[in-house]
Amino acid sequence: MRAFNLVDFTGSKARTPGVHRGFNMSQAALGPLMIGVAGHTLSALERTQLQHPLVGGVILFARNFTDPEQLSGLCGSIKAIKDPELLIAVDHEGGRVQRFKSGFTHLPAMSSLGVKYDQDPRTGLEKAHEVGETLAKELLAHRIDLSMGPVVDLASNAKSTVIGDRSFHADPNVVGLLAEQVILGMNQQGMQAVAKHCPGHGFVAEDTHLQSAQDPRGFDEIWEQDLVPYRYLAQKGRLQALMMSHVIYPQIDGAPASFSKIWMASLRERLEFSGAIISDDLGMQAATLFQGDIVAATRGAIETGCDLILLCNQPQDTQKVLDHMVVDVPPASLERLAKLRAETR
């Protein structure tokens, strides 16, 4: 998901939460929404939003960071909101997608690990493991639970600027091996990983932050290419959570993958994936163009099978969801979120 400047929204008074089927206040920390906040500290409105039973976490961006000390203070404020604590996540992939820079190790773009692998596989794998260890250790020191990565999209379209050097490699087998080492490094420090953007974003040139994107290939080709890293990681027990793309695959379904029951069934049944499924940001154009309304989009993603929903950049949209959404959250989804939280340090 892309970070945009976010202005605190104060045009809506915080309301007492309505009745949300499938929820009660004892489940407050298990809510399926992970929301963005505006700045370096929490506003009064944001504190109220984070107390809502639908909210289970916060995703941070560069706008939330000045230096490590400030970051620790912000994360401490977020953790103090609820018991059990809210999850805190960030996109900290390395290269051009690294939200925190001052005081943090500069992580390389994942494509550079692919280059190292081509030169010497052992060196490439060792460097990937080191990257995973470093990013997890530094984030956990500030009480950040999840990095939304690694990217396991294939570098299969040179025109894809949104993926580009975020991808390890064009070869799905190499992607799987390098991703495994990043994840192992993260896990050894106590951090879970989120492989993305399932089932694959590397083939399309369009940026789903800005427009709809369609991948014309059929299921078999995607299964034998883009899904190979997911299949490998699942087989090795390293696929802990994954993030869905907003790409449409018209040969499979007319809906973006994040709203596709066909794709969800394939992941749960054919891939036999039992971990948490996370949506990409529902404020992205590819999601809003399909659903039209943020409340409908959020409800649709949950009802389709996403366990954790990202609402990153538009606080007015977050407030609309908190004020108006009524949804049945399946018990199995709440259990997957509880497991994800339990496995974070």
Task: Give the catalytic positions in this structure.
Answer: 209, 280
Nearest CA to 320 out of 293, 301, 292, 300 is that of: 293
What DSSP element (H or E) covers 335?
helix 331-342
Nearest CA to 210 out of 260, 283, 156 is that of: 283
CA within 13 Å, CB half, 139:
38
Q: Which amino acid is at 40?
A: H
What DSSP element (H or E) covers 242?
strand 241-244
What DSSP element (H or E) covers 301?
helix 294-304
User: Can you tell me whether residue 50 is helix, strand or coil?
Assistant: helix
Within 10 angstroms of residue 184's Cβ, the number of other Cβ atoms is: 18
User: Can you tell me whether residue 159 is helix, strand or coil?
Assistant: coil
58 touches 86 (CB < 8 A): yes
261, two tokens: 């029951």
94, two tokens: 């390395």
Nearest CA to 281 out of 255, 258, 305 is that of: 258
Which residues make beta-bridge pairs with 214? 248
CA 132 – CA 28 distance, rounded (Å): 31
CA 342 – CA 336 distance, rounded (Å): 10
Q: Which residues have CB under 8 Å from 73's CB, separation 6+?
A: 41
CA 281 – CA 2 distance, rounded (Å): 8
CA 245 – CA 325 distance, rounded (Å): 23
Query: End-to-end CA distance of the chain, in Å?
Result: 24
